[in-house]
Amino acid sequence: MGKGEKVDNSKEKERKMFVGVVWNCAAELKLLVTALLLLFSVITVLQFLPSRYFSISSSDLRPCTTTTTHLLINSTTLNQTTISLNETKTNQTLLPDSLNQQNVLPANGIIKRGFFPLGSAAYNFVLMSAYRGGLNSFAINGLASKPLHVFGKPTYECKWVPRDASRQPISTIGLKMLPDWGFGRVYTVVVINCTFPTSVVGGGDGELYLSASTNGGGDADSNATDTFVALTETQKEFVDFESKFTNKTPKYDYLYCGSSLYGNLSPQRVREWLAYHVRFFGEKSHFMIHDAGGIHEEVLEVLKPWMDKGYVTLQDIRDQERFDGYYHNQFLVVNDCLHRYKFMAKWMFFFDVDEFIFVPKKSTIKSVLDSLSEFTQFTIEQMPMSNRLCLSEDLRKSYRKWGFEKLVYKDVKRGIRRDRKYAVQPRNVFSAGVHMSENTVGKTTHKTEGKIMYYHYHGTIADRREPCRQHVNSTTISLDGIPYVADTRMRDVAGLIKRFELKMIGPILQRTRQ
């Protein structure tokens, strides 16, 4: 057999296959083809008939042609669409009659319009954690819709349900606190204090329920209530809490509660910050780091030696990105940290990883805090540092120096209200803020100038380039209308910090990059 014969046979097979496929199509397709042939035949005949016999033209039939075609196509695909919907299990919500018939003119002449809500603008409550706050109290930390709290009056009820059926459940009204009020976005942080009229002790086993009611917030005709278990406690967990609660000497002298870390952080800046503060706070200190996406592999390598030494706990909080809160929900995580370690630390500090706590010579962090022991809370003065000015003597060797060692120019512009950070004795604190707490028992002082301060290297933690942009051979300079003076106190301790790091964890981080 020749090549030409093979080609002819192949074409013949293709024609037969096409005809077979078309002829075996669904009955609806055959009906469609027949109807179209009949319709177009009628239109063709009408064109040759005298117009006096008919008052209808072929152009008048074109809409009918289009309509018929669509109807036939829709009937053909109806079964296929139904099968597709069943396969994908699409949820279909039927609209109420009031919405389907909203344009019908009633007898009184007034058109009644309908509104039908679908989905949810924001959750009523997003639970992060709950902890005991005493023998008869608990703290619940979460997020709630900010418009709900702006335009409504949501309420909370707490109930303790013992597992022992012979003991009756007890209930109380939850006291809500909004520590980030004014800063929230779609969600605002809510800390709920549940203080019961009697001690929640005895068997220990039980569950804490929270009922969150909207009370008309968002929808004036609705009062939705969501009830859920916020905390389950076993007898062992209660005993563990009781030992911490009654212990007058907590595990840590100083505990750091860090805000959410995100972005492409500089491993070298994190390295410097950790080495400095582990030495500054001492052996009985601990650092809570919250990863909101900023602890990439290189930063984790910096944290790992200190985690292995027991100084650092790293928590992955990336899931909070689902809920749009202020600065990656930093108010939420610091409140979780406060209540989680409330009875495990004597003092708790709140500041950021581009800020370095400092006390003057002849002072120690212990001597300063002992002098402030009568206060539940004190705020810390800021020393704003340039993130680009360096000394001329470091021009060719700045890449070998640490950030706080070479950035020595302090902003001394007057008449500016600068942010302060703070520390608390956590047993007397009910909620945490970023710059201070507004829910404490006891006194607060802001008069700490000269006693304790923090150097702020703004913008350096998220910049992986060499920070020195301009080298200066002077103790004073004015740049962009801002006066700066040289302050070398942090520079002077850099050698001590480097030797301390080498002693504690060895040379493992010597090759850390910006």
The pLDDT value given to residue 182: 79
Give the mean model confidence (pLDDT) for residues 249-267.
96
Amino acid identity, position 222: S
CB atoms within 10 A of CB 310: 9
The pLDDT value given to residue 138: 97
Q: pLDDT > 90: what percent of the chain?
A: 68
The pLDDT value given to residue 162: 93
Instruction: Give the whole-angstrom CA distance, residue 442 versus residue 425.
Output: 10
The pLDDT value given to residue 184: 87
**pLDDT (tens digit, 9 = 90+) per residue, 138-187?**
999 999 999 888 888 899 999 999 988 888 999 999 999 999 987 889 99
pLDDT interval class at 116 (50, 70, 90): confident
Q: How many residues does the chain have?
A: 514
Cα radius of gyration (the chain): 36
**pLDDT (tens digit, 9 = 90+) per residue, 396-434?**
888 899 999 999 999 999 999 999 999 999 999 999 999
Query: Whose CA is closest to 352, among 212, 278, 459?
Result: 459
Query: Whose CA is closest to 37, among 75, 72, 83?
Result: 72
Amino acid identity, position 127: L
Task: Region of 202 please: left (phi>0), alpha (psi -120 to 50) or beta.
Answer: left
Give the mean model confidence (pLDDT) for residues 446-464.
96
Q: pLDDT > 70: what percent of the chain?
A: 79
Amino acid identity, position 147: P
The pLDDT value given to residue 451: 97
The pLDDT value given to residue 25: 53
Amino acid identity, position 109: G
Task: Name the pTM for this structure.
Answer: 0.79
The pLDDT value given to residue 110: 85
The pLDDT value given to residue 87: 41
Amino acid identity, position 24: N
Instruction: Give the whole-angstrom CA distance, residue 260 versus residue 291.
Output: 6
Residue 43 · residue 60 · CB < 8 Å? no
Tokens of 17: 């296959």
Give the mean model confidence (pLDDT) for residues 454-473.
94
E strands in 24-181: 126-132, 137-145, 155-162, 170-173, 175-177
Query: Within a 13 Å sphere around the CA of 374, how many CA atoms are in the beta-carbon half?
Result: 2
Residues 6+ apart with CB under 8 A from 281: 253, 254, 256, 365
Calculate the CA 42 to chain-centre distance. Answer: 68
Query: Whose CA is closest to 178, among 439, 382, 488, 489?
Result: 439
CB atoms within 10 A of CB 95: 12
pLDDT interval class at 50 (50, 70, 90): low
